[in-house]
Amino acid sequence: MFYTLIHTIHIYSVFIYGGFLFVDILFLSKMKQTLSEEEHKKAREAIMMHVRKVVPYALIVAVASGLYLFSQIFGKISDNGMSTFQMILSIKAFFGLWLGFRGINQKLFGIQPWVFKAHIFPFTLVVIIILLSQFMYL
């Protein structure tokens, strides 16, 4: 029951984080095409003011719950090495930890990323993580 609760929390928090990246890349970035520079800045800041209250914490919850889920399902490494499931899960965990490290540095320490400042790279990693999830159980 506890595992299912954490898994549900993980899925919701990933939807919040990934959903924001999706909206930002596909819609908010396109506002520049129809709004003036000043209107775009005002509109984006009006949205981001609310986003900053939820999305970074959703990322932290996603990473924390992901670490718990990882510890529960990774399993023992056999004498033959890691299974395909374990390898894909490890790749997913690495990408998730990278996103979490980036988000925690930004939110808690005010450290802005040196590279990949736009949301396209984190969004790409989220899409890759989702795709890897579909291949883990094959």
Separation of alpha carbons 134 and 32, rounded Å: 35
- Rounded (5°) CA angle 130-51-9: 45
For the chain, what are the domain ranges? 2-135
pLDDT digits (tens, 9 = 90+) for 1-59: 999 999 999 999 999 999 999 999 988 888 889 999 999 899 989 999 999 899 999 99
pLDDT digits (tens, 9 = 90+) for 75-91: 899 999 999 999 999 99
Which has the higher per-residue pLDDT, 83 or 106? 83
Q: Which long-range contacts (CB under 8 A, 24 or more apart) does 95-98 make?
A: 95/125, 95/128, 95/129, 96/62, 96/63, 96/66, 96/129, 97/63, 98/125
